[in-house]
Amino acid sequence: MLDNRKAIRSWIMYDWANSAFATTIMAAVMPIYYASVAASGLGEGKATSYWGFTQTAAALIIAVLSPLLGAIADRSGGKKRFLRFFSWLGAAACIGMAFVGKGDWAAASLLVIVGMIGFGMGGTFYDALLNDVASDGMRERVSARGYAMGYLGGGVLLAVNLALILGWETFGFKDSAGASQVSFAMVGVWWVLFSLPIFRHVREAGGTPGGSAMESVKEGAARLAQTFRSVRRYPELFKFMVAYWFFFDGINTIIVMATSYGTDIGLKQEALIGALLLTQFVGFPATWLFGRLADRVGGKKMLYGALSVYVLIVLLGFLMTNELHFFALALLVGLVQGGAQSTSRAIYSRLIPPGRTAEFNGFLSFTSRFFSFGGPLVFGLVGILTGSSRAALLAIALFFLIGIALLAIVNLEKGWREATR
């Protein structure tokens, strides 16, 4: 089944399917709808706080569930089964968001949490299936193609949804809020429709046959405990994980704080959304090309390059003064963001011991989410202490520099041998 073209295309298409949630629900439309409609009756500043609590609750639940369910999936051969369940759960939550109206902030928060659980947990099992469709030599390329299609798919549906929202009168809606509600439902339908190929054409390696659900839970919990103990048996994998925690935190901080930073320095909402679309559409060809280059020169070298560009992005962001500068930075982010993420996924997949892919992907998801508070926390603290969001952004460069330094001491060849011994 490895390197089967139909299976690879089907695996890649799932990134196209679920990235619509990342762009429309997480990044562009729902945050605005939440503040202006769902939480419009709350006091000043509460909408932003409640949105933050919503994100935190979802992240904590995903962090707890990922390693446990990953271990259970490896035991039972159930990665596809879990992926299907969480995909349908997330899609159903998106459709439910279409019925959230003015003042329904509690329902909106609950549905966003459920949707993010579907997105985050689904991503864990999706990543774990990479080893079931691509051989070692193909993973950088296949992983990059997945991210590339995600950028394109997420960008296409976001563009359609923004057209509906901005031109609501033309399309017969009573207001932009009604158009937003339809866009949420479209994400759910899109997610279900384009995830069908992965369930039909991708086959995973079998787990241990037989056993009740409770036995799977018990053995999954036991394997999770074993994961914590056994990571030290794979020192190169562990060193890569620590490096990943730092540069993932830096990348995540750039993603979640970019809009707030742009607002702080006086950029208009239209420019911020336009820059997001630019990142999506630049990310498609750039990530595909990044994967091809990673095949030729090595994933580690390409990852060095991407993280170095991120340091440059932070430095230029510190000096940014207008919308043109913001678009230039969005272009740079689009060039390297997907490549950095896809190459990291491919490298990590080769450091995982065979038969434990979902377990170790769940463990990485748990640990990286647990440590992902660091970047936003540093950003906030530096901003408060200095009174400057520019200084706060500059501090994030430290996460990339530490990540680069730690990556330098990872011996990938040794790590691959450790994984298969």
Which structure tokens are listed for 392? 């706060």
- Predicted pLDDT at 256: 66
Give the pLDDT band (50/70/90) at residue 1.
low
Q: How confident is the model at residue 51 (pLDDT cuts 50, 70, 90)?
A: confident
Per-residue pLDDT reduced to its tens digit, 374-394: 777 777 778 778 877 788 888
pLDDT at 93 over 90: yes
The beta strand positions in 241-354, using DSSP E, are none
Q: What angle do CA 408, 411, 415 make, to 5 degrees?
A: 140
**What's the distance, Cα to Cα, between the start and end of the chain in Å?**
23
Dihedral of CA atoms 377, 381, 387, 390 in degrees, nearest 10, equals -40
Residues 364 and 348 sit within 8 Å (Cβ to Cβ): yes
Q: What is the mean pLDDT of the chain?
A: 86
Nearest CA to 105 out of 165, 57, 37 is that of 37
Q: How would you class 209 by CB atoms within 10 Å of its CB: exposed for 0-12, middle for 13-18, buried for 19 or more?
A: exposed
Q: How far is CA 264 from the centre of its chain?
A: 25
What is the predicted pLDDT for the residue at 397?
A: 93
Q: What is the pLDDT of residues 349-364, one digit of tens each?
A: 889 888 777 778 777 8
Residue whose pair of structure tokens reads 């299976």 in the numeric block: 7
CA angle 310, 398, 364 (to 5 degrees): 80
C-alpha 351/C-alpha 244 separation (Å) is 13
Instruction: Of 129-133, 262-266, 334-338, give the lowest mean pLDDT range.
Output: 262-266
Closest CA to 138 of 340, 308, 307, 1: 1
- d(C-alpha 388, C-alpha 320), whole Å: 13
- Please name the amino acid found at residue 167: G
pLDDT exceeds 80 at position 171: yes
> For position 112, what pLDDT does the model report?
94
* Residue 211 pLDDT greater than 60, yes or no: no
What is the value of pTM for the model shown? 0.78
**Quick one: CA torsion of 168, 170, 172, 176, rounded to 10 degrees?**
10
What local confidence, expressed as pLDDT, does residue 104 receive? 95
Per-residue pLDDT, 208: 54
Of the candidate ranges 84-93, 210-219, 220-229, the one whose mean pLDDT is the lowest: 210-219
pLDDT of amino acid 217: 64
Q: Which domains can be identified in the chain, with CATH numbers?
A: 1-205+213-231 (1.20.1250.20), 235-352+373-421 (1.20.1250.20)
Cα–Cα–Cα angle for 126, 362, 289, rounded to 5 degrees: 45
Place of tokens 């003015």: 102
CA pair distance 254, 188, nearest whole angstrom: 27
Nearest to 361, CA basis, from 202, 135, 126, 108: 126
> Which stretch of 26-35, 171-180, 203-212, 273-282 has the lowest confidence by average pLDDT?
203-212
